[in-house]
C-alpha cells in the first residue's frame, strides 16, 4: 500500500514538471505574437520596414526560450 502511494506521488510530481514545461510553449507563442504586434505598430508609426517587427519577434523568442531552458535546467535536478 505504501509503495502505491509513493508511486502515485512520484507520478503526480512528474506530471507537474511536464505541465510546467509545456506551459512554456504557450508562453512562447503568446509573447512572440505580442512582440510581433508591437513591432508592427512601431514600424507603421515610424515608417520603417519590418525592422522592429522582426527584431522584437526574435527578441521574444530568444528570451522566452532562454527562460524555459533555465527553468528546465533547474527542475532537472
pLDDT tens digits, 15-59: 887 787 788 888 999 999 999 999 999 999 999 989 999 999 999
38 closest CA partner among 28, 24, 52: 52
Say what percent of the chain tops pLDDT 70: 95
What total number of domains does the chain contain? 1
Cα–Cα distance for residue pair 72/69, rounded to 1 Å: 5
Query: Dihedral angle at the C-alpha atoms of 51, 57, 60, 66, nearest 10 degrees?
Result: -100
Residue 59, C-beta contacts closer than 8 angstroms, at least 6 positions apart: 35
In total, the chain counts a number of residues equal to: 77
* Residue 49 belongs to domain spanning: 2-76
Amino acid at each position: 500500500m505504501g509503495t502505491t502511494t509513493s508511486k502515485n506521488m512520484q507520478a503526480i510530481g512528474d506530471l507537474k514538471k511536464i505541465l510546467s514545461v509545456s506551459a512554456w510553449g504557450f508562453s512562447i507563442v503568446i509573447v512572440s505574437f505580442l512582440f510581433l504586434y508591437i513591432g508592427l505598430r512601431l514600424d507603421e508609426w515610424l515608417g520603417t520596414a519590418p525592422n522592429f517587427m522582426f527584431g522584437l519577434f526574435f527578441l521574444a523568442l530568444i528570451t522566452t526560450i532562454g527562460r524555459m531552458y533555465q527553468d528546465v535546467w533547474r527542475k532537472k535536478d
